[in-house]
Amino acid sequence: MRIVVIALIVILVVTSFVLAFQFNQKAFRANRNLEQERYLRLTAEQAIQEAAQQKEDLKNNLSKAQETIKGLSRVTEQTQAYNKDLKERLEKASKAQEELEAKLKALEKKEPLNATTSK
């Protein structure tokens, strides 16, 4: 009877060691999987943060580009207005010159008559 009890105890102890070993292996695998998941999550979060930063940088660059375009548009409009003003002035000056030349010709026509009559 004593041998049966000792054999039963030995079987229970061996079974306990086997179960403990299996549990330890499962716990080790679960811990390794957890560490891999943490690493993947960490790298994914970093990638998301980098993408968000790039998005923000692109938005800022777009805003700067739009402001530059607005500024260039204003300069273009001002230049066009200045060119239009200069064109109008040139046309007025041309008309004034034509009028003065016409008056000068008219005066030249009148003056030779006066010069010949005064002799």
Distances (CA, A) of 92 to 32, 34, 96: 89, 86, 6
Percent of the chain residues past pLDDT 90, beyond the cut: 87
Q: How would you class 20 by CB atoms within 10 Å of its CB: exposed for 0-12, middle for 13-18, buried for 19 or more?
A: exposed
pLDDT in tens, 85-111: 999 999 999 999 999 999 999 888 887
Cα angle value 80/85/90 (rounded, 5°): 125
What is the arithmetic mean of pLDDT over 14-33? 97
Residue 29 predicted with pLDDT over 70:
yes
What's this model's pTM, rounded to 2 decimal places?
Answer: 0.53
Domains of the chain, residue spans: 1-79
Mean pLDDT, the chain, integer: 93
pLDDT in tens, 68-92: 999 999 999 999 999 999 999 999 9
CA R_g for the chain: 51
- Give dist(CA 87, CA 94) in Å, integer: 10
- Give dist(CA 79, CA 63) in Å, integer: 24
Distances (CA, A) of 15 to 9, 12, 28, 104: 10, 5, 20, 130
Picking from 5-9, 51-55, 109-113, which range would have the lowest pLDDT averaged per residue? 109-113
